[in-house]
Chain A
């Protein structure tokens, strides 16, 4: 038992060191933004896919924002991918298509496998451009973001592009404020540090782009994946394509405002991520592929982030068990030290990362919310652990995955 605990402690220490490495790099290291300077070019034609399933509250906002984008109108085609919506989504999209002929070409999907990946896969059959950008329907892109997300594709090594997601409903309640902090840490520090260090920036599946040739080479969208973005990141990596992260390509999103919605969202992410881990981790680490050594190591660690929830819980249980069983006094002390280490160093590293992100964003007072992150982390640990357990039991009972769409909170506008 004690040896399992040792392994868990070492694993947690590795992740802790990783958090510190990323944060210190972001604060003091060389910052890579190689493509953000490309503001003049012979811009290529692009297709912008908007994944939409029952989005009557938000779909008009993103269409208006995209129509105002600073990109040659004759080179940008907006394709709302209406995936079996049962509300007014279709009606709204068709109205826009009528008003802006040639700029919006709706793709109405009325049957087929549910899920974003399946819908995008069907829509890709009608895409003719080399550059494909993807947004979820609740996002509001800025005027310059189409150019910013297209620019990295001038690099022939780039297969995918990811922008920065910024919550817009920050002040709604405690949950949205915690999610704002988590997003800041995840993008401003984690993603940018991976870009700086030439590791594996993660494709997020929204505020993102993909090169059609690369997508075809890796076999298209994986409709069996719960997180098509993670799946895409790893298949691109294994085939020698890079995902570029553009920290200054910010786009507003709406984050969940209620805990049940947040828990369902993070459980879906955890299951999808674990699914990708089971599929790609071994091949990435030991297989013959085109990833560099540092990409293999970082990629494997990134695949394991959602597995760390149940592993940490197991570590806590083991540490307490070893201590109270009094297996040996020395072991008991080590277990106690381990327990302390989780509470202090492990959590502190993530807190440090988020605090650094707030600093880099130029905020001051919202750092006061930081202690409440302990609540967010606790909920996340139990949610992803529950997701992992239900995933394993689902595998044993051969239950099918189902895709939970994240509920929208925006008020309807007249």
Chain B
């Protein structure tokens, strides 16, 4: 073969091989089919009431239907713009006689009520449920999502797959499972044996708290402390000791019974707070965090692994809401939290 031709073929082949992986790239550069910025959450979809607010907006086209059914006390059926079937009740108590499937008692339509709404036991609601008044659900029901503008009562053994929000008090009976977000604009009460993921309310009660909420002794803002102590190994704050300033411990940390800490504390390992301690700051643990009975914590409580809170403990205050977060959370009956409780994997109210 002619040597010039060989070299030319070699160069051509090399050029082709080099260009080959660039062809899809050039195609994408020209078409710009995926050239938009990353969809950053500018509207903050992490807000716990995001889905409830969106559901309200979704129901806006039904406003004339609500007015009509409310005035006449009649039912109305129809189809939403996205093809979802709906049933609007004029009298919420009619739901007790809903045309549920005989065998599985399945309600496959979006159920809404212009007034209070009551549903019977052992039913499954595969579409979202809305009540403009109070909502009362009997035991062992399964819901996709629930919104009540006033009080909301979930019967024992019920479960909510996505989210539940109440404008008034949200009462959750024994053995319920809340797989998504559960929130109330007022008080949220969880009975023993319930499981949850994310809770938010002005006041969250686990079981029946015995004591009335306490106010914090020093209404100073968080992060007002400037002194920090850094400790390389294990550390203990003795019982009844008063510790001022922030504390960071690279080992285990024990806060003794009745101790008072005016600052935030962190442990890179296990953190144990014994009974009756007061933490006027945040509690952070990289591993396990145990909070004994009748403690009081002002700031956020974060454990990267397991968190156990015993009876009588108060987290946050009415004038200082807070967040309790961990991978797994176990809370004994008698605990009160003002704000948010967020279990990344699972939260449970102990029996």
In the complex, chain A residues whose CB is within 8 Å of the CB of B320:
42
Indicate if the CB atoms of A363 and B48 lie closer than 8 Å: no
Our pick among B35, B44, B228, B302 for the contact of A70 (Cβ within 8 Å) is B44
In the complex, chain B residues whose CB is within 8 Å of the CB of A213:
226, 228
The stretch among A52-60, A170-178, A311-319 that forms the contact with chain B is A170-178
With A156-B266, A157-B266, A366-B35 as contacts: A290 and B226 at CB distance below 8 Å: no
Is B81's beta carbon under 8 Å from chain A? no
Indicate if the CB atoms of A372 and B300 lie closer than 8 Å: no
Question: What 1/0 mask marks residues of chain A from 10 to 39 whose CB sits below 8 Å from any chain B CB?
Answer: 000000000000000000000010111111
Indicate if the CB atoms of A142 and B282 lie closer than 8 Å: no
Indicate if the CB atoms of A177 and B322 lie closer than 8 Å: no
Interface of B, helix, strand, loop or mixed by DSSP:
loop
Our pick among B38, B342, B344 for the contact of A250 (Cβ within 8 Å) is B38
In the complex, chain A residues whose CB is within 8 Å of the CB of B339:
40-41
Question: What 1/0 mask marks residues of chain B from 45 to 56 whose CB sits below 8 Å from any chain A CB?
Answer: 011100000000
Indicate if the CB atoms of A167 and B223 lie closer than 8 Å: no
In the complex, chain B residues whose CB is within 8 Å of the CB of A355:
none
In the complex, chain A residues whose CB is within 8 Å of the CB of B88:
none
Question: What 1/0 mask marks residues of chain B from 200 to 227 whose CB sits below 8 Å from any chain A CB?
Answer: 1000000000000000000001111010
Is A402's beta carbon under 8 Å from chain B? no
Our pick among A153, A156, A251, A365 for the contact of B248 (Cβ within 8 Å) is A156
Indicate if the CB atoms of B222 and A44 lie closer than 8 Å: yes
Indicate if the CB atoms of B25 and A369 lie closer than 8 Å: yes
Which parts of A326-381 form the interface with B (CB within 8 Å)? Answer: 361, 363-366, 368-372
Our pick among A34, A251, A371 for the contact of B302 (Cβ within 8 Å) is A34
Our pick among B38, B265, B316 for the contact of A166 (Cβ within 8 Å) is B38
Indicate if the CB atoms of A144 and B46 lie closer than 8 Å: yes
With A142-B40, A371-B21 as contacts: A40 and B322 at CB distance below 8 Å: yes
Is B34's beta carbon under 8 Å from chain A? yes
Rounded to whole Å, the gap between the CB of A208 and the closest CB of chain B is: 16
In the complex, chain A residues whose CB is within 8 Å of the CB of B24:
368
Our pick among A45, A154, A364, A371 for the contact of B282 (Cβ within 8 Å) is A154
Is B72's beta carbon under 8 Å from chain A? no
Rounded to whole Å, the gap between the CB of A248 and the closest CB of chain B is: 8
Is A252's beta carbon under 8 Å from chain B? yes
Indicate if the CB atoms of B266 and A155 lie closer than 8 Å: yes
Rounded to whole Å, the gap between the CB of B267 and the closest CB of chain A is: 10
Is A407's beta carbon under 8 Å from chain B? no
Question: What 1/0 mask marks residues of chain A from 100 to 135 whose CB sits below 8 Å from any chain B CB?
Answer: 000000000000000000000000000000110000
Which parts of B98-151 form the interface with A (CB within 8 Å)? Answer: none
Is A168's beta carbon under 8 Å from chain B? yes
CA distance A252 to B39 in the complex (A): 10
Is A220's beta carbon under 8 Å from chain B? no
Our pick among A38, A167, A177, A248 for the contact of B29 (Cβ within 8 Å) is A177
Indicate if the CB atoms of B222 and A41 lie closer than 8 Å: yes
Rounded to whole Å, the gap between the CB of A294 and the closest CB of chain B is: 13
In the complex, chain A residues whose CB is within 8 Å of the CB of B34:
363-366
Q: Which residue of B lies closest to A212 (CB)?
A: B226
Q: Which residue of B lies closest to A174 (CB)?
A: B29
Which parts of B1-28 form the interface with A (CB within 8 Å)? Answer: 21-22, 24-25, 27-28
Q: Which residue of B lies closest to A173 (CB)?
A: B29
In the complex, chain B residues whose CB is within 8 Å of the CB of A366:
28, 34-35
CA distance A248 to B226 in the complex (A): 28
With A130-B224, A144-B41 as contacts: A171 and B36 at CB distance below 8 Å: yes
Interface residues on B, range: 35 or more
Is A143's beta carbon under 8 Å from chain B? yes
Q: Which residue of B lies closest to A35 (CB)?
A: B302
Rounded to whole Å, the gap between the CB of B23 and the closest CB of chain A is: 9
Indicate if the CB atoms of B22 and A171 lie closer than 8 Å: no
Our pick among A35, A142, A154, A290 for the contact of B44 (Cβ within 8 Å) is A142
Indicate if the CB atoms of A156 and B247 lie closer than 8 Å: yes
Is B264's beta carbon under 8 Å from chain A? yes
Question: What 1/0 mask marks residues of chain A from 140 to 180 whose CB sits below 8 Å from any chain B CB?
Answer: 00111000000101111100000000111111001001001
Is A304's beta carbon under 8 Å from chain B? no
Indicate if the CB atoms of B41 and A154 lie closer than 8 Å: no
Is A310's beta carbon under 8 Å from chain B? no
With A154-B284, A170-B37, A213-B226 as contacts: A365 and B28 at CB distance below 8 Å: yes
CA distance A167 to B40 in the complex (A): 10
With A154-B300, A177-B35 as contacts: A42 and B222 at CB distance below 8 Å: yes
Indicate if the CB atoms of B323 and A171 lie closer than 8 Å: no
Is B252's beta carbon under 8 Å from chain A? no
Indicate if the CB atoms of A40 and B323 lie closer than 8 Å: yes
A residues in contact (CB < 8 Å) with B: 32, 34-42, 44-45, 70, 130-131, 142-144, 151, 153-157, 166-171, 174, 177, 180, 184, 213, 240, 248, 250-252, 290, 361, 363-366, 368-372
A selection of 28 A-B contacts at a CB cut-off of 8 Å is A34-B302, A39-B47, A39-B48, A39-B323, A40-B323, A41-B300, A42-B319, A130-B223, A130-B226, A142-B41, A142-B43, A142-B44, A153-B223, A154-B282, A155-B266, A155-B284, A156-B246, A156-B247, A156-B266, A169-B37, A171-B32, A177-B35, A251-B40, A363-B34, A366-B34, A368-B24, A368-B28, A369-B28
